[in-house]
Chain A
Amino acid sequence: MAVSEEAILRSELRWTIVVTGTITVIMVAILYAGIVHHINPPSNIETVDPKTLHLTGEFTEENLGTSIDAGGQITARMVATQFAFQPQCILLPANKRVTLRFASPDVIHGILVTGTNVNTMIVPGYVSQVHTVFTRTGDLLMPCHEYCGLGHSQMWATVRVVPEAEFKPDGSGRALCDAR
């Protein structure tokens, strides 16, 4: 039984309307997130030499952890190395925009902060950067989620989120957990 040309056309148009509607909804959602909430894809193309990471300024051992710069921007820097994070705990305030910066001197690692949408790979040669706002206080577990070697399953750190009033950086703008 042959279907008439007109019937095919009607069916195709119906489906075109459905597809166009779906794509429009997705596009509007992306535009809304971008313009109103200032959300971006979590990409950051920034290179760093993994061989000399420990000799450079920013990811030198003493500079790791949370610090506030003159403009009030809160940045936590962390190195993921086989088989530990350094420092093993970072202190951050709740309900404030914070920036997390990670680098690796050896192999590919990855992190996620449980209960949040913070999730990134840490690739040697690049700085991984995430901007976020933590809304829940407490000790959040941050495991390595990219197999990095035999010690991978023991590699985790803590993100200690405290209420804004309890977040008191010292005179040099640095804030550290008690534990190393």
Chain B
Amino acid sequence: MKPADLDDLDRPWRTWASLIIGGMLAFSIVMGFVVIPVVQGYGAGIDPFTAICRAVGLVPGSPSTRQPTSAAKAEPTTQVAWSTQLLRTLSRPTDMGAVVAEGCVACHGQRGIASDPQNPNLAGQSAVAIYKQLHDYKTGSRANDIMTPIAQTLEENQIRAVSVHFAAANRRSLDPTTAEVVDEDIVRLVERGDPARALPACNSCHGFSAGGPIETPTLSHQNREYLARQLRAFRDSSRRNDIYTRMRSVSAKLTDREINRLAEFYATTLQY
């Protein structure tokens, strides 16, 4: 057969195949975007136009169910919202940092290492973490008799500057001879968590460059008294500036012994 004859033979197949596929497409569009949404919307008391818009994806919701509404007012646990611009300023040292830091040395030490273990060390802490806590003290999301009035006198740019200043300081050096050998279950909690209690490993957020929420502080080289006190404050909800109860729900599952031993672990460990 000549090629021209083959073409003649194929033509009706091509025509019919195209017509059927085109017809099915048109049928599907009409059924899926118009008929079914309107029928479903009719049953749920939704007007046809809204139902079609929902089916097409122009407005939220399903054509067959009323869209839930919420009249809840925002009750933020913290006013801090991270933006690229804010995070960028928290990586830039300024001259102002050292000046503002002079107001901190009495409790937090000349180089950000506190002499009283009840106070946290700031040296080497992440600037993002220090910024969030100072900001929270300022706005009242976190309360402390000493820190609240101090933070309230600070301007936004001073908070940023002092956070960067302490982040750049060298961390407390640890004495290898005092490193506590801690129990196996505590190390497991730190490194692997406890799936049965839905407890994520401490280090999945608090380890160095671990990922997790950006504002999580690093815990090693911190003071044990301070760590244990904060875990207890989270547990009884007297401290509640953790976004979405991350630390409140974790600490509620910890026993007293675990809190003490975890604080001891992070205060003395040489591993992280």
What residues of chain A have their CB less than 8 Å away from a CB belonging to chain B? 5, 12, 23, 31, 34-35, 38-40, 43-46, 51-52, 54-58, 60-63, 69, 71, 73, 75, 77, 79, 81-84, 86, 88, 97, 99, 101, 105-106, 127, 129, 131, 149-151, 153-157, 180
Contact = CB atoms under 8 A, between A and B. Distances in A.
Contacts of B222: none
Given A31-B36, A51-B81, A154 B193 contact: yes
Contacts, number: 155
26 contacts: A35-B40, A40-B63, A40-B64, A46-B60, A51-B82, A54-B243, A54-B244, A58-B70, A61-B77, A73-B68, A79-B244, A81-B213, A82-B204, A82-B205, A83-B200, A83-B204, A84-B244, A86-B246, A97-B65, A105-B243, A129-B61, A150-B210, A150-B212, A151-B204, A156-B195, A180-B245
Contacts of B207: 150
A44 B61 contact: yes
Interface residues of B, number: 59
B60 A151 contact: no
Contacts of A86: 244-246, 249
Given A40-B63, A75-B68, A154-B198, A81 B204 contact: no
A155 B198 contact: yes
In order of increasing CB-CB distance, the 7 nearest A-B pairs are A151-B200, A46-B60, A150-B204, A151-B204, A63-B72, A38-B64, A83-B200
Contacts of A156: 195, 198
Given A55-B81, A86-B244, A153 B195 contact: yes
